[in-house]
Every structure is written in C-alpha cells, then in structure tokens.
Amino acid sequence: MDKAIEVSNLIKDYGNLRAIKEISFQVDKGEIFGLIGPNGAGKTTALRIISTLLQVTSGSVKIFGYDLTKQPDKVRECISYLPEEAGAYKNLSGQDYLEFMAEFYSENSQEKKSVVKRGVEIAQLADRIKDKVNTYSKGMTRKLLLARALMINPRLAILDEPTSGLDVINSQAIRRLIKSFAKNGTTVLLSSHNMLEVEFLCDRISLIAEGLIIETGSPPKLKEKYQVQNIEEVFMEVVK
Amino acid sequence: MKDFYNLIRKEMKELMTRQFILSLVAMVVIYGMLGRFVGRIREEQETKPITVTIMDLDQTYASRDFIDRMNQREEVEMEVIEQGSREEALQKTQERAEKALLIMPPGFGEKIEERKAAELEAYSIIKGMSMTAFTGRSIMGVVNSLSRQMSLDFIQDIAPDRNANDLVYPLRAKEFVVVKGKAAPGSLGIIEGFAMSQSVLIPVILMMAIMYSGMMVIGSMGMEKENKTLETLLTLPVKRSSIVVGKMAGAAIVALIMAGVYMIGFTYYMSALTPETSGAGMTALKELGLMMTPVGYLLLGASLFLAILTALSLAMILGLFVQDSRSAQSMAMPIVLLVIFPFLVLLFKDLQSLPLALKVILYLIPFSHPTIAAKALIFHDYLPVIGGMAYMALFAAVAMYICVRIFNTDKILTARFSFRKRKRGI
C-alpha cells in the first residue's frame, strides 16, 4: 500500500453551509502535496478533517490505511499538524514546550532527549529557546511551532501555511527543511497562498475553489497543460 | 499514564504563573496582617479601661461617694470637674479624647440619701462609624454595674443579718441546653458560637474550593482557545478522555492549593475575630455529641472532593463555549451562582425549615450538599450526607460523560454561545 492519504467523495457541512462539496484526492507516501486556493475555498477545512479535528459529513478519508472516522487515535499517531493560526503555551519556555510535546511521542527519556534536541536545532532560536514563549515575536513562535511539528519525524506532516509570518530568509530555510524531511520519508500535505512556495515545494498540487477540486497535477505538467509561466497563471486560467 | 501526568504537569505550569504565586503570597500576608490587626484591636477593646469625665455639679457626700466607687474600678480612668456648663464639659471631654461624660446634676445626693432613684446624664462620645467605635466597655455598663453594687450595699444596710445578694437575686437558674434530645449544662451563647463556626467557616472554605476549581478549568479552556493551542492539543496521540481528565486534575490541584492557602489565612483571620470556645464550652459540646468524629471529617472531605469533581465536570462543559480569557470569566458565573445560592440560604435557615419547593431546588443543586453535610455531620446524621454524595457522584459522572462525548466531536472547536445570530465561516 503506497498511499499516505486517500480522500473519497468528502463532503463537509457547517449547518446549512456546504464548505466542501465532494472532493477526492490521493497522496503518495513521501510526496509533498499542496492544496492551493483562495480564502474560503475549503483548504483549511480539508486539512482540519484530515487532522481529526473536524468530523466528516459524508465520504471517506484513510490515512496510511486507517479509517479517519473509525480509528482517529491510530491516525493521530501518524500525523503532526501545524495550524495556520497556531500558538504555543505562553507561560512555558520554548524548551519546556518542545519537551511537553516530545513526551507524547517518546518511549523513554533518551528518545525524548533526542527528539527535543532535533526540535531545538530546527527552531534555530539559540539561547532564546530558554525564554518564555510570551516574549517571542510572531516569527520566532512560528519557528518553534514548525520545530514542534517536524521534530518527531512524523509519517504525515500537515502544514497549513507553513511559512506564514516568516521573513524571506527564514521562509527559504523552512522550505529546504520540508524538502529534506520529505526526502527522508515524511509525507507532507500543505496549503499555501504563496504560489512560488507551492511551485518550489510540491510534487503535486490540487487547485481548490468554493469547496471543489478543479484541477490536480504536478506543477510542470499543469504549466504545460495551460501553456503558462507559473502556477499563479495556471490558477487564473482554471478559475476563469 | 505517562501522557496523563505530562498533561497535568503542563496544566499546572500554565496556571501557576509568577503572578498567581505572588497573589497567593499576598493573600496570606494580607490575612496575616488583618488577623494580627483585628486581634490586637479586639484585645485592646476587651482590656482597655474606659476614659470618663465626671462633672460633679452636686458636690455632696453621696456624689463624692459615687466618684470614689468609680475610682476604685479598674476598668475606669476618670477626670473630675466640679464647675462649668454642660457644653464646656462636653468640649473638654472631646478635647481629651475620652469616651464618655457623666454629669451628676444638683439634687443627686439628696435623692440618694432618700433612697430614691437619682438621675445621671451619661454621654457616649462616638468617634467613628467602624465596628470598633461601638464595641468595648460602655459608660452605661459601668453605671449599671455601680447601680447594682449600690443597691446591694443599701439592702445590706437595711437588713444587715441577710445576704443582700439573695434578696436582689432571689432566683438562680442553672442553665442547660438540649440538642436532639441530649441535655448538657451550658448556655445558648456557647452553642451559637459553635453553630456560627460550623455554618459559616466550613461552608466558606467549601465554597472557595468549589468556585476556584470551576473557574480554573474554564480559565484554562479560555487560555487554550485564546492562545490557539487547542487544535494542536487535540491532534496529539492522546485519548481525548485523558485530555479532559488531565485538564480537570491539573486545575483541581492548583485550585486546592489556592483554597488551602485561603483556608489557612481565613481561619487565622476568623480565630483573631472570635474568642476561643472555653473549656466548659467544649465539655458541653462533647456532652451534647456536637463534636465532629474522624469518620465525620472523612465524609466531609469525600463530600468536598465530589463537589469539586462536579464543579470541574460542569466547568469543562461550560469551557467548551468559551472563546478567550475574558469570556471565561462570564462563563464561570453559573457555577459561582450555584455555589453561592445554597450557601446564603443555608446560612440563615436550616434545610428542614424551608418550603418544599426551595428544599427540592437545594437538593437538586449539587453544591448544596457539602454545606448540608457539614451541618448533618455535627449531629452524626449520615444518611443525607451519603445520599448527597451519591447524587454528586452521579451528577459528575453524567457531566464527565457528556464532556468526553463532546470532546470526541468537532463541537469542541465549533461550539459557540452567543445571543447574536451565529456567523458561519469555513
């Protein structure tokens, strides 16, 4: 079984509002897959469903073969989710926060130590890692949260706008980091507004608008299909 | 279990901030200082002599005898003036910061010699409106005491072969109190003091522990939502029930620390305010069977534990609707009201003397039961205590079940409590 994610005919309603109108897509193991679309298209809802936060209205979702509805605990063991507007516990230090999170994924103190060490390296906060989170800038908090999401070497990393709030230099470093994790076997599902980021990172993308997937493919193939220079133009062509 | 302890540790670290610890220390210091201050004032009031200006406008043998008698009293410090107007005397009294002015008008001695009631004018100087302005020794207390003494002396003169005390007080009652069929020598005052400590002190401590626990959990949920940490927490490989119980346990430990500190401070403050029960009083309470047994304390502790558990479960459900720390405060109101209402009702009335409807309402409110238990256990009445505990256990179990069920759905993220029309978004 080579599929990390299998989404079939997924529908999500919020009361009378249909946020996702029957979407289907699959993500291979080790692949970086992007959900691209404008605000309110349903990207975050899809990611939150796959992260076990929201319930499915109808359709099915399987993560590494585990049924999301029937085996959410098994799914949670495989994933690491970074929400777009996430925060960390303000009264903990960055180090304490990573230690708290590492505890859930470690069998013993040795393993926990190495997970936290990896987290500290990814975060690149130097001595500030020992300061309380409430003293961090937005960018520093984002780096800490990314470190939290990736330090456990998850089988599936679900990243909602991973470089949101980061400057150009930090964004590039994070993109390289995501690529290196994927090379080491982590599957990545991400959403982004940044089309350049998507083009650089993703093996394949799905364009999503008004709760529907309107196109799926690799960035080079999509550019070729629509005879355009970049993904931004692909998107404009598709939604025309 | 490892994950559960990790959650409790995190919860405690989050709640026990530097500000929280500082406020706890401040609470102890303030109560300590208040206790010392109030205790010193009470002691002063009890032992300090009353300062009196006596204006003798009569200047007879009887008026001088009265002044002598006053002078012999340890509880009186006095200044005597023999002339001037009433206004001048009042002004002098106030200038000397004395508490009272006593004027013996002309004709005072004549009435005394005739063994008729002689009139005095007693002025109490009120310097403020605080409690201490009205406590301590009063001039009327001194005058009445002297009046009794003079009465005994006059009778002794008339009937030297009789005991004057027997003639003035021909009846002497030995006082007994009867509680639930048991009688013991003692006064109503002793029982009143004991009842006050049981019906005020214990319920206040219970109330604080329950309220703090509830508020801590709701506050913790508010912080999770405000800091946007809840989503990450819910995607961790931990059972949702562990998250619920971990949050409750962490908040309960912090709340108990807070309630414990409050209890120590409040008990110290109250002990400074109220005199200790005397040895005779304790004997009377023992004979009446009004002492709490070790089993009683155990049951009271269990009742408090179940009340806290109930408050925590209820608070977790209310916490689902909280959006931030500010809305957490208003969401804690239902719990605060449910705790305060039975406390206030049961402070003034016994449960049995209430109308049926109110009695039923109180039985239905789980937080009534620790207060009911505190009173019932004094009389070793275990049935309502055990019944209340069973009810609270059932209430907490149902509330926890509902809470875990909600945590297992996406209501935890989508639930809103608003009187305005709900906005929808993706």
B3 and A103 within 8 Å at the Cβ level: the answer is yes
Chain B residues within 8 A of A45 when measuring between CB atoms: 426
Of A173, A96, A82, A93, nearest in space to A135 by CA = A93
Q: Compute the nearest-CA separation of B414 from chain A (Å).
A: 9
A142: which 2 tokens? 């984002």
Closest C-alpha to A98, from A138, A128, A54: A128
With CB atoms and an 8 Å threshold, state whether A76 touches B236.
yes
* Contact status of A79 with chain B (Cβ, < 8 Å): yes
Between CA A137 and CA B401 the distance in angstroms is 40
Residues B405 and B317 in one domain: yes
From first CA to last CA, the distance across chain B in angstroms is: 36
* Euclidean distance between CA atoms A146 and A162, whole angstroms: 7
Which range among A13-17, A19-23, B285-289 has the greatest average pLDDT?
A19-23
Q: Which residues contact A175 (CB under 8 A, 6 or more apart)?
A: A163, A197, A200, A201
Most B CBs within 10 Å, among A47, A92, A104, to test the B interface: A104
For residue B105, what pLDDT is reported? 92
Q: CA B248 to CA B316: how far, in whole Å?
A: 8
Q: What's the Cα-to-Cα distance from A143 to each of A18, A33, A117, A125, B166, rounded to whole Å? A: 34, 21, 15, 8, 93
Report how far apart, in Å, the C-alpha atoms of B380 and of each of B222, B300, B374 are. Answer: 42, 12, 10
Within this chain, do residues B52 and B155 fall inside the same structural domain, yes or no?
A: yes
What's the DSSP call for residue B15?
Answer: H
Is there a contact between B297 and B200 (Cβ–Cβ < 8 Å)? Answer: no
Phi, psi of A57 (to 5 degrees): -80, -50
A54–B410 C-beta distance less than 8 A: yes
CATH 3.40.50.300 fits A3-239, yes or no: yes
Residue B248 lies in a domain: yes
End-of-domain residue from the set B172, B203, B218 = B172
CATH number at residue B99: 3.40.1710.10
- Residue A34 touches chain B, beta carbons under 8 Å: no
How far is residue A43 from each of residues A63, A64, B57, measured CA to CA in Å?
17, 21, 100
Neighbours of B111 (CB within 10 A): 15
In a domain, B3, yes or no: no
Q: Domain count for chain B, please give it.
A: 2
Written as tens digits, the pLDDT of chain B (426 aa) is 788 889 998 888 888 888 888 988 888 888 888 888 877 877 777 788 888 999 999 999 999 999 999 999 888 899 998 888 888 888 888 888 788 999 999 999 999 988 889 999 999 988 777 766 666 778 899 999 999 999 999 999 888 888 998 888 889 888 888 887 888 888 887 777 777 777 677 778 778 888 888 888 888 888 888 888 999 999 999 888 888 888 888 888 888 888 788 778 877 777 776 666 666 777 777 888 777 788 888 898 888 889 988 998 999 888 888 877 778 878 888 888 998 899 888 888 888 889 999 999 999 999 999 888 888 888 888 999 999 999 999 999 999 999 888 888 888 887 665 545 444 444
User: Looking at B172, B204, B219, which one is the last position of a domain?
Assistant: B172
As for the ipTM of the complex, it is 0.92
B1 domain-assigned: no
**CB contacts, 8 Å: B9 with chain A:** 100
Smallest Cβ distance to B228: which of A85, A91, A105?
Answer: A85
Inter-chain residue contact B229 with A73, CB threshold 8 Å: no
- Report DSSP letters for A79-104, one per residue: EEEE-TT----TTSBHHHHHHHHHHT
User: In whole angstroms, how far apart are CA A41 and each of A21, A57, A234, B422?
Assistant: 10, 17, 16, 20
B250 shares a domain with B166: no
Q: What single-letter DSSP state applies at residue A162?
A: T
Instruction: Report residue B286: phi and psi, to 5°.
Output: -65, -45
Q: Which of B236, B410, B426 sits opposite A44 (nearest CB)?
A: B426
Report yes or no on B24 lying in a domain: no
CA atoms of A5 and A216, how far apart (whole Å): 15
Residue B11 counted as domain residue = no
Say whether B228 and A51 touch across the interface (CB within 8 A): no
Same domain for B312 and B369: yes
Which residue ranges make up each domain of chain A?
A: 3-239
Which residue range(s) make up the domain with B107? 46-172
Domain final residue pick, B172, B196, B211: B172
Give the pLDDT confidence of A68-104 residue by residue, as tens digits: 999 999 999 999 999 988 899 988 999 999 999 999 9
